[in-house]
C-alpha cells in the first residue's frame, strides 16, 4: 500500500526541465557548464558549445535548448514538428535547431539530439568514449 503512494507522489511531482537537460548534458564525457549570454551553456571538454539553454531570452515563448545539428537535420526536424522544433535566432543560419522542452518533450529524443550535437563538436577522443551509435 505504501509502495503505491510513493509511485503516485512521484508521478505527480513536476519535472524541472532545466535540471533534466542539465543531467543529460553533464552525463557526456568531460561536458561542463558555464554561463554564456546569461544562460546555462554546455561545452564538450575545453572545446565547443553543444547545447545552449534559452530560458525565454528576449521574450521567447518557450523554454528551449539550442543544439548544433547535422546537415539537413534542422529542416527535417522543423518540418516534422514545428511546435517542438524551430530555427533559433543568431545560430539558426549555421544549422542549429531549437528544441522546446517546457511542453512535455520526449526526453529520450531530447537526450539523443543532445548526444548528436555533442558528437558534432566534441574532439574525437571524447566521442570515442561514447557508445557506438546503432548501425
Q: How far apart are CA 87 and CA 99, in angstroms?
A: 9
pLDDT value at residue 14 = 52
pLDDT at 121 over 60: yes
**What percent of the chain has pLDDT above 90?**
73
Residues 86-107 have pLDDT tens digits of 999 889 889 999 999 999 999 9
Q: Tell me whether residue 133 is in a domain.
A: no
User: Which range marks the domain in which residue 50 is found?
Assistant: 16-127
Give domain status of residue 95, yes or no. yes
* Residue 132 within any structural domain of the chain: no
Write out the H or E segment, with its range, that includes residue 51: strand 49-55
Residue 38 domain-assigned?
yes
Given a cut of 60, is residue 7 above it in pLDDT?
no
Q: Is the pLDDT of residue 33 over 50?
A: yes
DSSP alpha helix (H) spans, the chain: 2-12, 17-26, 73-80, 107-121, 124-127
- Whether 4 is covered by a domain: the verdict is no
Residue 1 included in any domain: no
Q: What is the pTM of this model?
A: 0.86
Domain containing 101 — which CATH number?
A: 3.90.1150.30
Segment 37-76, tens digit of pLDDT: 889 999 999 989 999 999 987 778 899 999 999 889 999 9
Which pLDDT score, from 0 to 100, does residue 9 have? 45
Mean pLDDT of 9-21: 72
If one counts the domains in the chain, the total is 1
Question: Is 98 inside a domain boundary?
Answer: yes
**Mean pLDDT, all residues of the chain:** 89
What dihedral do alpha carbons 35, 112, 14, 88 form, nearest 10°? 50
* Domain contains 135: no
Amino acid at each position: 500500500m505504501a509502495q503505491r503512494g510513493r509511485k503516485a507522489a512521484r508521478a505527480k511531482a513536476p519535472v524541472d526541465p532545466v535540471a533534466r537537460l542539465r543531467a543529460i548534458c553533464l552525463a557526456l564525457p568531460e561536458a561542463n557548464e558555464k554561463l554564456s549570454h546569461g544562460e546555462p551553456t554546455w561545452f564538450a571538454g575545453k572545446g565547443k558549445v553543444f547545447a545552449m539553454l534559452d530560458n525565454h531570452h528576449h521574450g521567447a515563448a518557450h523554454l528551449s535548448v539550442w543544439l548544433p545539428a547535422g546537415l539537413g537535420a534542422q529542416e527535417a526536424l522543423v518540418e516534422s514538428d514545428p511546435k517542438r522544433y524551430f530555427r533559433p535566432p543568431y545560430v539558426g543560419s549555421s544549422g542549429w535547431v531549437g528544441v522546446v522542452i517546457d511542453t512535455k518533450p520526449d526526453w529520450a529524443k531530447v537526450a539523443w539530439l543532445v548526444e548528436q550535437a555533442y558528437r558534432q563538436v566534441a574532439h574525437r577522443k571524447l566521442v570515442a568514449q561514447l557508445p557506438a551509435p546503432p548501425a
